Amino acid sequence: MRLQIPLLLLIMLPGPVAFSQDRDRDGILGQWLTAGGESRVEISRCDSVTYCGKIVWLRDPLKDGKPVADDKNPEDSLKSRPVLGLQILRGFTYRGDGLWSGGKIYDPKSGNDYSAKMTLVDEGNLDLRGYVVIPLFGRTEKWTRP
């Protein structure tokens, strides 16, 4: 009988731990106000493993009376697409301990793609670091929940 109780507790332990990991994994889901408050990005699951994000709100959605376009894009065929609705985050995977990495971020202000990682500081604060080659050569922006 003594052996059965610890064994039963050990068998039941993975359930709560797995639930906690799933909750942590989805901690970044929802809308985030970018640094400076210029836009909101909605982060969602792209598939069962990766996360992506698109611009769902712009403080200044019009330029010269027309929707802001991705005019800095290096591909001519994409320069006329609207920034509103544009997917700017892609390919992020949860690594544990509030870290998502392996993704890319597109900056419509420059037309550049950067490697990136995201760290959930707490429920309302997200650090997003975009970089070239290694995180040491990059910049961190602080995003907040609206």
Q: Tell whether 9 is covered by a domain.
A: no
Q: Tell whether 3 is covered by a domain.
A: no
User: Per-residue pLDDT tens for 1-44?
Assistant: 555 544 334 334 444 434 345 668 999 999 999 999 999 999 99
Q: Tell whether 122 is covered by a domain.
A: yes
Q: Tell whether 127 is covered by a domain.
A: yes
Q: Tell whether 96 is covered by a domain.
A: yes
Task: Give the three-state DSSP class for 109.
Answer: coil
CATH number at residue 32: 2.40.128.520
Domain housing 103: 27-144
Q: Tell whether 4 is covered by a domain.
A: no
Q: Tell whether 2 is covered by a domain.
A: no
Q: What predicted TM-score, i.e. pTM, was given to this entire model? A: 0.83
Q: Tell whether 8 is covered by a domain.
A: no
Helix (H) or strand (E) holding 72: none
User: Distance of alpha carbon 37 from its chain centroid, rounded?
Assistant: 16
